[in-house]
Amino acid sequence: MSGAPASLAGQWIVPVIVIDEASRARDLAEALVAGGIGCGEFTLRTPAALAALKAAAGVPGFVAGVGTVVSPGQLAAAVGAGARFAVTPGFDDEVVTAAQAQGLDIVPGIATPTELGRALRAGIDHVKVFPAGVLGGTAYLDALAGPFPGARFLPSGGVSQGNAGEYLAHPSVFAVSGGWVVPRDAIAAGDFARIEGLARAAVLAAGGVVAGGAAAAGGSAVPSASASAASAGSAVPAAGGVVRA
């Protein structure tokens, strides 16, 4: 099994961002970093998404990615805006091939064993499972992990503050993604204190779960969020965070 995509190494909460005003992006990214989360997936669901991604990409300690990518053209535009990783809602061979050709980290979406098999044949063993909640949650991940023990999952769709820890405790999960940390209304209102608080709460709540899993597996001490950010050249205030590859 390969490690997590390089741009997401040390990240285990990937906020799914829907943003309506690009002018809010820098403050949003800074709030996430202050709360201990060093990345974000700017979904191509609004006209402001690419400009927002570009603005956030300039924030120290923050890894800006693009989500809801459904065509190679969208992927190229996102790369031009500074995206360092891409996430897709489903498995699209053309998008995956385009990302690999450009050296861009990609986490394609899968919902079935057939799609997972296609991803593995394409050389990708870290995939998004979407919509995870509808598909059956961790029980579905168990079912996938049986015949595909080398796959690692990013559950998305139905992940929340209440169940993120359960997902992160699953041995085949490398990170979780969701929008609960970055409510669209909070972004629109410029309520970045709320977003920082949500990020900090998510990191604190999930940190113990991941750390406990590492200890149970006989692993070494897991570095804090500040340590992982420092390895990327920028410091993020520690919020009890730990990392998982």
Active site residues: 41, 128
For 136: left if phi > 0, alpha if psi spans -120 to 50, otherwise beta; the answer is left
**CA 84 to each of CA 26, 48, 146, 168: distance values in angstroms, whole numbers, following the listed order:** 16, 18, 31, 23
Pair 28, 39: CB distance under 8 Å: no
Beta strands across the sheet bearing 126-129: 109-110, 126-129, 152-155
Helix ranges restricted to H, the chain:
25-34, 49-56, 72-81, 93-101, 113-121, 132-135, 138-145, 164-168, 184-189, 192-216, 225-231
80 contacts 49 by C-beta, under 8 angstroms: no
State both tokens at 33.
């970093």
Contact predicate 205/180, CB 8 Å: no
Q: What is the DSSP string of 80-127?
A: HHT-SEEE-SS--HHHHHHHHHTT-EEE-EE-SHHHHHHHHHTT--EE
